Chain A
Amino acid sequence: MRISMGAVVPGGTSLEYKTGSWRDQQPVLNMELCKKCGMCESVCPDSAVHEKSEIYRIDYDYCKGCGLCAYECPANAIQMIPEEK
Chain B
Amino acid sequence: MDTTEVLEGSEAVALAVQACCPQVISAYPISPQTHIVEALARMVANGDLNSQYVRVESEFSAASVVSGASAAGSRAYTASSSQGLLLMTEVLYASAGMRLPFVMTGVNRAISAPITIQVDHQDTISLRDAGLIQLYVESSQEAYDMHIAAFKIAEDPRIMLPVLVCMDGWILTHSYERVSCLSQEQVDRFLPPFQPENFLDVNDPKSWGSYAEEDVLMEFKYAVQKAMQYSKGRITEISSELATITGRDHGGLIEAYRTTDAEVILLAMGSVVGTIKETIDKLRSQGERVGLIKIRCYRPFPFEDILKNIKEAKVIAVLDANVSVGSEGAVGMDLKAKLCGRPGVPLVIDFIAGLGGREVNEDRIVEIVEKAQELGKSGLPLDESYWVGLNPEIVP
Q: Interface residues, chain A, CB within 8 Å of chain B? A: 1, 3, 5-12
Check A5 against B160 for contact (C-beta < 8 Å).
yes
List B residues at the A interface (Cβ < 8 Å).
97-100, 160, 197-198, 205-210, 212, 215-216, 219-220, 223
Q: Which residue of B lies closest to A5 (CB)?
A: B99
Return the chain A residue nearest B98 by Cβ.
A6
User: Which residues in A have their C-beta under 8 angstroms from that of B210?
Assistant: 7-9
Q: How far is the CB of A32 from chain B (nearest CB, A)?
A: 40
Interface contact B205-A3, CB-CB below 8 Å: no
Distance in Å: Cβ of B195 to nearest Cβ of chain A: 15
Contact of A7 among B197, B205, B212, B215 (CB under 8 A): B212
Q: Which 10 A-B pairs have the closest CB atoms?
A: A6-B99, A11-B205, A7-B210, A6-B98, A9-B207, A3-B219, A8-B198, A8-B206, A5-B99, A10-B206
Contact of B220 among A7, A9, A10, A12 (CB under 8 A): A7
Of A3, A9, A10, A12, which one neighbours B223 at CB under 8 angstroms? A3
Contact A3 B100 (CB under 8 A): no
Report Cα–Cα, A10/B100, bound state, in Å. 17
Q: Which residues of A contact B197 (CB under 8 A)?
A: 5
Supply 26 A–B pairs (Cβ within 8 Å), ascending by A. A1-B216, A3-B216, A3-B219, A3-B220, A3-B223, A5-B99, A5-B198, A6-B97, A6-B98, A6-B99, A6-B160, A6-B208, A7-B98, A7-B208, A7-B210, A7-B212, A8-B206, A8-B207, A8-B208, A8-B210, A9-B206, A10-B205, A10-B206, A10-B207, A11-B206, A11-B207
Q: How far is the CA of A59 from the CA of B23 in the complex (A)?
A: 45
Q: Closest CB-CB distance, B93 to chain A, in whole Å?
A: 13
Most chain A CB within a 10 A radius of its CB, from B205, B207, B210:
B207
Distance in Å: Cβ of A46 to nearest Cβ of chain B: 18
Task: Using A5-B99, A6-B160, A11-B207 as known contacts, list a sample of 12 further A-B pairs with CB atoms less than 8 Å apart, ordered by residue number in A.
Answer: A3-B219, A3-B220, A3-B223, A5-B197, A5-B198, A6-B99, A7-B98, A7-B208, A7-B210, A8-B206, A10-B206, A11-B206
- Cα A7 to Cα B207 with chains together (Å): 9
Chain B residues within an 8 Å CB radius of A9: 206-207, 210
Q: Give A8 to B100 CA distance when docked, in angstroms.
A: 11
Chain A neighbourhood of B209, CB < 8 A: 7
Q: A6 vs B212: C-alpha distance in the bound complex, in angstroms?
A: 11
Q: Which residues of B contact A6 (CB under 8 A)?
A: 97-100, 160, 198, 208
Of chain A, the residue at the smallest CB distance from B196 is A5
Alpha-carbon separation in the docked complex, A5 to B216 (Å) = 13
Given the complex, which residues of B lie within 8 Å of A5, measured CB to CB? 99, 160, 197-198, 223
A1 to chain B: which residues have CB within 8 Å? 215-216
> How far does the Cβ of B142 sit from chain A's closest Cβ, in whole Å?
30
Q: Which residue of A lies closest to B219 (CB)?
A: A3
